[in-house]
Structure 1
Amino acid sequence: MGTRRVTMRDVAEASGVSPATVSFVLNDVTEQHILPATQERVRAAARELGYVPHAIAKALREGSSRIVLLALPQGIRGPGLDAYTRGLDDELARHGHVLLVRHGSPLHGGLESVVASVAPRAVIDLSGLYQDEAAVAADGPVTTNDGGWVDGLAAHTLVQLRHLVDAGHTSVAVALPEDPGWARLAAVRLGFARQAAVRLGLAEPVVLTVPRDRAAAIQAVRDLRRDHPGVTAVASFDDAVAMQLLAALHGLGVTVPDELAVIGFDAVEYGSFATPALTSVHIDAGAYGQRAARTVLGLEPPADPPAGATVVVRESV
Structure 2
Amino acid sequence: MTSASNGRGTGTGNGSGNGSGATRRVTAKDVAREAGVSQATVSYVINNTAHQKISDETRERVLAAVAALRYTPSAAARALRRGSSDLVLLVLPDVPLGPNIAHFMESITDELEPHGLTAITRRTRDSTPVSGLWRELRPVAVIGLSSFGEQDELEMREAGIHVVSALLSPVSGRSMLSVPQTLVGRMQVEHLAATGHRRIGYAAPDDARVSEYFHLRLYGVRTACLDLGLDEPYVLPVSLDVPAGEAAVRAWRAGENPVTGVCAYNDETAFAILSGMYSLGLAAPRDLAVIGVDNIPLAQLATPPLTTIDQNLEAVAAFMARTIVAAIAGRRPPRSRAADVVTLVVRESA
TM-score scaled to structure 1, two decimals? 0.71
Matches within 5 A, 1:56-135: 62-106=82-126, 108-128=127-147
Report if the CA contact (8 A) 1:84-1:287 is conserved: no
- Structure-1 separation of matches of 2:138 and 2:149: 25
State the shift of 1:261 in Å: 0.3
- Match for residue 45 of structure 1? none
Letter in 1 for 2:84: S
State the shift of 1:245 in Å: 0.8
State the shift of 1:96 in Å: 1.6
Aligned mate of 1:189, from 217, 225, 241: 217
Task: Name the count of aligned residue pairs.
Answer: 270
- Structure-1 separation of matches of 2:180 and 2:252: 30
Secondary structure at 1:170 match in 2: coil
Report if the CA contact (8 A) 1:238-1:266 is conserved: yes
Letter in 2 for 1:264: G
- Structure-1 separation of matches of 2:45 and 2:193: 62
State the shift of 1:61 in Å: 5.8
| Per-residue Cα deviation, 1:45-86 (whole angstroms, up to 9, x for no partner) | xxxxxxxx9995766764424222222221332233233323
Q: Which runs of 5+ in 2 are unaligned?
A: 1-12, 14-42, 55-71, 151-168
| Per-residue Cα deviation, 1:128-165 (whole angstroms, up to 9, x for no partner) | 4699xxxxxxxxxx77589x9x8532223322221112
CA separation of 1:90/1:273 partners in 2, compared to 1, >3 Å: closer, same or farther?
same
| Per-residue Cα deviation, 1:174-208 (whole angstroms, up to 9, x for no partner) | 21221222233212221222123333333222112
- Higher relative CO (Cα under 8 Å, sequence separation at least 6) belongs to 1
Secondary structure at 2:254 match in 1: helix
- Structure-1 separation of matches of 2:318 and 2:92: 17
Most deviating of 58-67 and 256-265: 58-67
State the shift of 1:123 in Å: 2.4
- Structure-2 separation of matches of 1:305 and 1:26: 44
Q: CA RMSD in A?
A: 3.7
| Greater gyration radius | 2
- Structure-2 separation of matches of 1:227 and 1:100: 52
Report if the CA contact (8 A) 1:158-1:193 is conserved: yes
- Structure-2 separation of matches of 1:101 and 1:218: 38
CA separation of 1:127/1:312 partners in 2, compared to 1, >3 Å: closer, same or farther?
closer
- Match for residue 286 of structure 1? 314
CA separation of 1:315/1:101 partners in 2, compared to 1, >3 Å: closer, same or farther?
same
- Match for residue 206 of structure 1? 234
Report if the CA contact (8 A) 1:68-1:97 is conserved: yes
- Structure-2 separation of matches of 1:256 and 1:216: 17
TM-score scaled to structure 2, two decimals? 0.65
CA separation of 1:116/1:59 partners in 2, compared to 1, >3 Å: closer, same or farther?
closer
Letter in 1 for 2:346: V
- Structure-2 separation of matches of 1:253 and 1:168: 23
CA separation of 1:215/1:130 partners in 2, compared to 1, >3 Å: closer, same or farther?
farther
Q: Which runs of 5+ in 1 are unaligned?
A: 6-22, 35-52, 132-141
- Structure-2 separation of matches of 1:90 and 1:61: 27
1:295 and 2:323 aligned: yes
Aligned mate of 2:342, from 295, 309, 314: 309
* Identity across the alignment (%): 34
Most deviating of 180-189 and 233-242: 180-189
Most deviating of 90-99 and 293-302: 293-302
